[in-house]
Amino acid sequence: MKSQDDIIKKTLRKEMQRIDDDLFTDEIIKRHLSQKVPVAPRPFLNFVSMIVGLSFTLLSLGLILLVKTNNRILKSIDFSEQHGYILFLLSFFFLIYKWLDDLTLKHTLTNLQKNVTARCKDESD
């Protein structure tokens, strides 16, 4: 039985069909390396930054309105309309800054991905 099994094994090894395409392996490697690594889509603006920025913007607008209605509490702490505008501008600039920051990061990641893909292609060639 053992020798018969060996004969079957040898026969299959000897007679098996072979892939005679020399480029078969290279083609697979090339296709594998050129497959793009999917980058998770990033939100337009970081959620926490957006909440903080918008909250302060709304708060400053609310304070400006309260000052305009001669609110006693705000008057007692010397909070003027100008303070409200300053707070409004600060929170507005914070939102702009965070938006630009996220945008730059997105571009950096895209460029990095392009560089890596190009390098992989060069190596496989």
Q: Is 34 in the site for another protein (CB under 8 A)?
A: no
DSSP code, position 3: H
Distance CA 54, CA 97 (A): 13
DSSP 51: H
Closest CA to 68 of 82, 58, 88: 82
Q: Which two tokens stand for residue 111?
A: 């460029």
- 122 near another protein, rule: CB under 8 A: no
Query: How many residues are there in the chain?
Result: 125
Of 16, 40, 48, 77, which lies in the binding site for another protein, with binding defined by CB under 8 A? Answer: 16
Query: Least distance (Å) from another protein to the CB of residue 5?
Result: 7
CB of residue 50 to another protein, shortest distance in Å? 34
**Closer Cβ to another protein, 35 or 80, answer by number:** 35
Q: Check residue 22 and report its DSSP letter.
A: T
**How many Å apart are CA 87 and CA 108, to the nearest integer?**
32
Nearer to another protein, 35 or 55 (CB): 35
CB closer to another protein, 15 vs 78: 15
In the complex, the residues that contact another protein under the rule CB under 8 A are: 1, 4-5, 7-19, 21, 24-29, 31-33, 35, 123-124
